Amino acid sequence: MTTSASGTGYSQAFRDVSTSRTELIPTRFNKKTEERFILWKDILTVFKNAERIKCDNEAVVFMIDENSEYLEPRRICYYPGVTLDVIVEAPEQVDREPTDLVGTVSVVAAAPSDIIIPGKNPLDHYQEGGYIIMVSSEESTHTWGHDGEEAIALSVTTSSDTAIEYSHSRSSEANVTTSRLQQLSEVYTSTAKTLDMFLDDSLDTRLQALVTETQHSLQQFNQLVCSYDQQISQSSQTVQMSATMHTEDSRHTLSRSISANDLMQLHMFQMVHQVLENQQLTLNRIQASIRQTYELLEYSIPRLFIVLPKPRRKRDMIFRPFKKKFKLFFLCECGAHTQHGRHSIPHRIHLAKHEGYDLDHVDEFFEKYGPYALAIMKMLKIGIGVTGIAVPALACFRLTEGIESVEKSIGTVSRNFGSFLDEAIKALGTQTKNHNDLTKTSTSTPMDFNGLEALEGADLRQLESFLRTHDQNRALGNLYRTVTTDGHVKWVCIDHFREDYRKEAIRRFKKVVESCDGKLCPALYAAYATLVSRTKAKEFYDAMSKVHGIGLLMIDLMWDVNQEDLQALADAAKASGIRRLKIANPVPRHHTLDSFLHNNHCDPLVELMCNGHVESMKIKNFHDFFGRIDGDTSMMMKSQLDRLQISSPFSPHKEPHESALLYILRHCPKLSRLKLSTNRLSHTMQLLTEQASRFLNLKDVKVASREATAMVTFSQGEPQGIKLELSSHGTFQSVQELLQMGHLTYLNIDQPTAESIETHLDDVLLNNPKLKIINIQVHPQHSSDIVNLVLAARKAHISQTADPSTVDVLNVKIEWLCPDAFGTSSVVMELEFTANSDTPSISTHVNLDALEGSELRMHFLELFRTYGWSITVLVSQGRLFTDEVARQLDVGTEERGSQIMTLELSPISLSLVGIKYLDHVIERSKDLSRLKFHLNHLEIENETEKAIHLLNRYHNNIHSLVFSGTSTYKWLTEMAGTCASRQYLPKLDEFKLECVDRSGISEKHAQWIAIMVAAPPQQRTPSWSDKLSFLGVGHHLKVIEPDTSWTECAVPCMWEPLRHVGLERIRLCHEDWKVVIKALDFSSLGELNFELSNFSLVELEFLANCIPEQANPVRNLNIWAYYTDFSRSLESDIVREQVSALLKKAQWVHLYPRDSDN
């Protein structure tokens, strides 16, 4: 047997399981069998102790000959694109020297001056300690320690030449250990005392819990220190033993013991660091909670304000010439704590958006608050006069913490306001008794406010008594209280409050929604919840009222609701500004005394419709909804309702129901779409058509009952047409009045009997001249009878019409009902009648795949025999297109020809006799515009022969080809020999190849795939025989040479570019993937499928480089890579970068799966 070394690019990857070392071993090539393999001796050359080879946890066996004997020399198959695992024999267990370790551990003495702390130190909280611990590698070194005496340094390096050295001072270590433990004990004692100070009965339960948690952490920390002490003692004893040991073996044993102890100490240090970090976080939380509790009590109203003189009226100048009036204006305390992301609004102190408050008892006010108000105004003035900026919030109310904050920039104030502020300061100066020191201060120099105290507690609460306020909601100055992350209380305006408030409100609302078995989607502004009681509903409404901008709310009320419950819902929906609402009350209603005494039970729902926010509303399962509406209530707001759906039955014969419906329509003038449920369809439709002239915005009305559903379209109050869908429970008699109205334009009949069609269809056509479309769903056994009755009804309609020329066009669609079709129509027959004609043109769409497993397949034989000539679309990818079906179709098209335009089938159930019947049908199909073959199970010789026959006969007309099978090598060679070039399939626009057993594709077959997916050449190319010589000359090879008259100049395209390419379940080596990807024609490509293949990140990167940057592509390109090697690595940052680069380069490319799909 002849072998040769492989060429470049064909190597097998092997990985040592024990060391994860990966090596590439070149393959060898068998010219006789055209297979690649790897010799076992080549593997042993690289992996000396190799025992066996595994692939995906399965053993790889040696190749055998025809007699099931191992081939000599031993060899294994080539697995392209796969890394094989090598199981190496475990060496004998011996006492290894320290040089066998992966890394080295050295413990050396280090002086405090040699300590280096680069970057962030794991023990940066311990500036005092007893050790220097240094962890180093080939790239970095980290050392940390303390400023005490001589310490121990632990060095871990990754090097093959390792050594362990250990030296230190025993006396120094004892001192260091004692010092370190004393320091840790002092930290523990100090922290415990601090926590005892926090333990006060005045704190709330939450703070008590935090303190208790911290004490528990400290106890654990103390236990950790004791354990650390024991480890140090053990290490000291080990060091003492080392002084008495001199043999080589004892030295190695002691070194390993020391390294283990030192590593344990390093672990202990890390645990101590973590405990202290948690302790600090807990202390910060306690401090913030205490601060928040204090400031929430002390700062109950805004504390930043200015006082400005109020313009005097004429009567005040006459009756109170010496009396001045003042107004108080609050300030918004915005700043860095309100900045979140990018916002267009500035975050600088400004006047609150409020008209201000008149001051009562002016003299008492200035006596108490004058110096404080004057100080704030002068600080603002200093900012304007010096730098043109105002002061930050910190300097405004913490006056004793330095004046440097005054120079910080927060905003600009206009000149007019500055001059007005001068006048206000002057007027305030005359009114304030305690302003002597402040008025002497120049506005161009810093001021001394050390003697002035900020307002707190009782002073702030008393301030409100001086304000003449008319705020019913007590929102002073339209400011809202918020708490910063460190526990400080601030009062800010709605613009700065909304973002923080909304985030917190949404967080709380989401928690409440989840407790109600619901879901909140803030991105879609939608919420769903199930409320089981009034208590749960109140909690839900309270949280919802604080969240503004909910787009869609869907709730189920699972108890017997009353008017108060619905009113609470209406108030909460109005407060939150809900635009779309779906509400249901599926619980059966119990008739109580209250329900009999009050007939306005559902008035709050009508109020919801008219609250000025709701645009769409759906009401479901409310018992006697229309009977519990009081039509005398007038609505204060203008309704914005555009869509309304009420599933509670409407009874037109009940006067309260009719009054309630008209009441809703009258108060919702913008309503354009209405959906109702009724028990009397015809009467309801008559009522709506009669009253529609009063509601000109009403456009679409849908009314449903058990028997039928009617949809009417209005224009300026006039009905334009009615679409009627008659269910299987309905009859023509149940909608007789509606059929006689004469507005019917569309009629759908579900499973009618032949008697009903024969009795009523001609009358329906006669009374509704606008009727143009009729859809009928029938069982297959009745389809022929229904077709004949439709033809008879059309003839009767024309004969009974006074002027037959007025009879319009009519389209009748008859669909087969197949129980096992999963909603897919297996047969759709369309009868199109032109105007004044009773002879239709018939077209039939047949999908045999919709009847897989159905017992109604026998009816296809009659259909094909009787109406085979009318079939325009025939689809059969499964096994239902048998020889008998083909024969009946041949009979049905023999006399009147074939109208087939689209033919998509698999010849799996056809014999050569059936293929001949199919050939007859295709020859008669003169309008055939799309031909698609699914060539499956090509590993079977008979299927291969049928595929070759179809390819050779229809190669010039095939638009889509699907090749599928196992054992790909043989049948791929046959297919490549039959379709040696794309010129052989000039109309092909869809090419799919599927290797069911995921077998590998050889090099020559990969080159054939590249030829099949390549773009058509624009210039003359070399001979196809020369290009395809690698295929060999087979008995099925068909090569078409270009015309010798062609020159080197440009020529028209010789074939259509592909729009769909599928390479599923195949395995190619990287070089072959590059050949195929590089050959792809992206000019018209819309679908590229690599599912279940070994397409990986490397191929994706190469594909990204091959995709051209098209400004205006013909269509978007969808790349499907589910269940590939690429999809399994989506969590990798490298994959995300490659995907981002691909999408950035070509935004018209869509890759699936994306990172969001996982």
**Residue range 967-1006, pLDDT digits in tens:** 888 899 999 999 988 899 999 999 999 999 888 899 999 9
Q: Which residues pair with 292 in a beta bridge?
A: none
Domain limit, last residue, from 642, 671, 700:
671
* ω into 669 cis (within 30 of 0): no
CA 311 – CA 697 distance, rounded (Å): 51
- Which token pair is 967? 């054992």
832: number of Cβ within 10 Å: 14
Residue at 729 is within a domain:
no
The answer to whether residues 485 and 626 belong to one domain is no
5 vs 265, more confident: 265
The answer to whether residues 936 and 1011 belong to one domain is yes
The answer to whether residues 613 and 634 belong to one domain is yes
List the one residue out of 1120, 1108, 1101 whose CA is nearest residue 1146: 1108
How many structural domains compose the chain? 5
Residue at 799 is within a domain:
no
What is the full DSSP assignment across 917-943?
A: HHHHHHHHBTT--EEEEEE--TTSHHH
* pLDDT band at residue 274 using 50, 70 and 90 as cut-offs: confident
* pLDDT band at residue 331 using 50, 70 and 90 as cut-offs: confident
Check: CB of residue 661 under 8 Å from CB of residue 628: no
Domain limit, last residue, from 671, 686, 720:
671
pLDDT attached to residue 431: 63
pLDDT attached to residue 783: 87
Alpha helices in 557-602 (DSSP H): 563-576, 593-597
283 vs 458, more confident: 283
pLDDT attached to residue 328: 83
pLDDT attached to residue 174: 45
The answer to whether residues 284 and 416 belong to one domain is no
The answer to whether residues 330 and 399 belong to one domain is yes
The answer to whether residues 367 and 497 belong to one domain is yes
The one-letter code for the residue type at 11 is S
Residue at 839 is within a domain:
no
CA 1061 – CA 960 distance, rounded (Å): 10
> If phi over 0 gives left and psi between -120 and 50 gives alpha, with beta otherwise, what is residue 1089?
beta
624 vs 677, more confident: 677
Check: CB of residue 529 under 8 Å from CB of residue 555: yes
390: number of Cβ within 10 Å: 25
Kindly give the pairing relationship between strand 526-531 and strand 519-521: antiparallel
List the one residue out of 718, 715, 706 whose CA is nearest residue 750: 706
The answer to whether residues 276 and 315 belong to one domain is no
Q: Which helix (H) or strand (E) holds 778?
A: strand 773-778
Dihedral sign, CA of 390, 396, 402, 403?
positive
Residue 403 DSSP symbol: S
The answer to whether residues 271 and 311 belong to one domain is no
| Residue-wise pLDDT tens digits, 823-834 | 567 899 999 999
- Which residues have C-beta within 8 Å of that of residue 36, sequence separation ≥ 6? 6, 10, 27, 28, 29, 30, 77, 78
Q: What is the CATH number of the domain that holds 616?
A: 3.80.10
Residue at 31 is within a domain:
yes
CA 1063 – CA 520 distance, rounded (Å): 41
pLDDT attached to residue 848: 87
Q: pTM higher than 0.75 for the full model?
A: no
Q: Give the range with max mean pLDDT: 127-141, 822-836, 838-852, 872-886.
A: 872-886
- Which token pair is 44? 């042993």
Average pLDDT over residues 77-92: 80
Residue 717 DSSP symbol: T
Q: How far apart are the first and last CA of the chain?
A: 50
The strands making up 58-59's β-sheet, listed across from edge to edge, are: 22-26, 11-16, 83-88, 50-55, 58-59
| Residue-wise pLDDT tens digits, 207-243 | 566 556 666 666 666 666 666 666 656 655 555 555 5
Q: Which helix (H) or strand (E) holds 141?
A: strand 141-144
What is the full DSSP assignment across 214-235?
A: HHHHHHHHHHHHHHHHHHHHHH
5 burial level (CB within 10 Å; 0-12, 13-18, 19+): exposed
Helices 783-800 and 858-867 pack at an angle, to 10 degrees, of 40
Q: Give the range with max mean pLDDT: 146-160, 753-767, 937-951.
A: 937-951
Q: Is the pLDDT of residue 389 over 50?
A: no
The one-letter code for the residue type at 402 is G
1091 vs 401, more confident: 1091
Check: CB of residue 109 under 8 Å from CB of residue 173: no
Return the SS3 of 1118: strand
The answer to whether residues 265 and 316 belong to one domain is no
List the one residue out of 160, 177, 181, 159 whose CA is nearest residue 168: 177
| Residue-wise pLDDT tens digits, 809-822 | 999 999 988 765 55
Q: Phi first, then psi: what are they for 674, rounded to 5°?
A: -135, 135
pLDDT-wise least confident of 71-80, 136-145, 938-947, 1064-1073: 136-145
Residue at 908 is within a domain:
yes
Q: Which helix (H) or strand (E) holds 658?
A: helix 655-667
33: number of Cβ within 10 Å: 11
- Which token pair is 741? 């109205």
Q: Is the pLDDT of residue 82 over 70?
A: yes
C-alpha pair distances (Å), 634 with each of 495, 569, 631, 658, 1037? 35, 19, 8, 18, 88
What is the full DSSP assignment across 11-51?
A: EEEEEETTT--EEEEE-EEETTTTEEEEEHHHHHHHSTTEE
Check: CB of residue 286 under 8 Å from CB of residue 354: no
Q: 409-412 long-range contacts, Cβ below 8 Å, gap at least 24?
A: 409/348, 410/335, 410/347, 410/348, 410/349, 411/346, 411/348, 411/349, 411/350, 412/388
Domain limit, last residue, from 88, 117, 136:
88
> If phi over 0 gives left and psi between -120 and 50 gives alpha, with beta otherwise, what is residue 189?
alpha
What is the residue range of 307's domain? 299-501
pLDDT attached to residue 623: 84
pLDDT attached to residue 1129: 77
CA dihedral 901, 906, 909, 913 (to 10 degrees): 50
R_g of the chain computed on alpha carbons: 44
Residue at 1123 is within a domain:
yes
What is the full DSSP assignment across 600-621?
A: -TTHHHHHHHTSSS--EEEEES
Return the SS3 of 142: strand
The answer to whether residues 337 and 190 belong to one domain is no
C-alpha pair distances (Å), 52 with each of 84, 85, 189? 10, 9, 63
* ω into 1113 cis (within 30 of 0): no
The answer to whether residues 282 and 316 belong to one domain is no
List the one residue out of 546, 658, 670, 655 whose CA is nearest residue 617: 670
Residue at 623 is within a domain:
yes
pLDDT attached to residue 925: 94
List the one residue out of 82, 1098, 1141, 979 whose CA is nearest residue 1090: 1098
pLDDT-wise least confident of 9-18, 167-176, 614-623, 1108-1117: 167-176
Report the b/e string of 316-350 with b at 16+ CB within 10 A.
eeeeeeeeeebbbbbbbbbbebbeeeeeeeebbbb
* pLDDT band at residue 1022 using 50, 70 and 90 as cut-offs: very low
Strand ranges (DSSP E) for 164-269? none
CA 1008 – CA 963 distance, rounded (Å): 13
Alpha helices in 742-894 (DSSP H): 754-767, 783-800, 858-867, 883-894
The answer to whether residues 170 and 212 belong to one domain is yes
